[in-house]
């Protein structure tokens, strides 16, 4: 069983929709939770970063972490065609910033 499981998708939504992307994990040592966005044929780029449980908001994006359920989510409000990409969740323990574990990614298409 993988340490990190991500809802596989793909997702296709109309412009303006609210999108929910989700991951579950099994390793209780994970304390830092990240979301990366990857456009086609590009490297991933960091989108959101959350430490431990709670919510974090940045513009149209909200990251949510529920450590009791080992569940994290990324919400995108008022989705735009430019949000069309693959979204990867990632997480790691307190030590060793060089050793993150990634989900398999969810591909999102936002249709105009």
Partner 1 sequence: NAGVTQTPKFQVLKTGQSMTLQCAQDMNHEYMSWYRQDPGMGLRLIHYSVGAGITDQGEVPNGYNVSRSTTEDFPLRLLSAAPSQTSVYFCASSYDGTGYGYTFGSGTRLTVV
Q: Does residue 103 bind partner 1 (CB under 8 A)?
A: yes
Residue among 49, 53, 61, 109 that touches partner 1 (CB under 8 A)? 49
| CB-nearer residue toward partner 1: 4 or 14 | 4
- For 37, residues 6+ apart whose C-beta sits below 8 A from its C-beta are 44, 45, 47, 85, 86, 87, 88
Q: Is residue 101 a contact partner of residue 3, using CB atoms and an 8 Å limit?
A: yes
Residue among 40, 68, 82, 97 that touches partner 1 (CB under 8 A)? 97
Q: Does residue 43 bind partner 1 (CB under 8 A)?
A: yes
d(CA 52, CA 94): 10
Which stretch of DSSP H or E encloses residue 4?
A: strand 4-6
Residue among 37, 44, 63, 85 that touches partner 1 (CB under 8 A)? 44
Tell me the number of residues near partner 1 by CB under 8 A: 24
Q: Which residues pair with 88 in a beta bridge?
A: 36
- Which of 10, 48, 9, 3 is closest to 24 using CA atoms? 3
Q: Does residue 34 bind partner 1 (CB under 8 A)?
A: yes
Residue among 21, 90, 108, 110 that touches partner 1 (CB under 8 A)? 90
Footprint on this chain of partner 1 (rule: CB under 8 A):
6, 32, 34, 36, 41-46, 49, 51, 88, 90, 96-105
């Amino acid at each position: 069983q993988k340490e990190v499981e991500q809802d596989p998708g793909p997702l296709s939504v109309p412009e303006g929709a609210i999108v929910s992307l989700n991951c579950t994990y099994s390793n209780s040592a994970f304390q830092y939770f990240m979301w990366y966005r990857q456009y086609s044929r590009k490297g991933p780029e960091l989108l959101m970063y959350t430490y431990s449980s709670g919510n974090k908001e940045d513009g149209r994006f909200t990251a949510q972490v529920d450590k009791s359920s080992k569940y994290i989510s990324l919400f995108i409000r008022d989705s735009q065609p430019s949000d069309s990409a693959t979204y990867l969740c990632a997480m790691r323990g307190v030590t060793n910033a060089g050793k993150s574990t990634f989900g398999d990614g969810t591909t999102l298409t936002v249709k105009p």
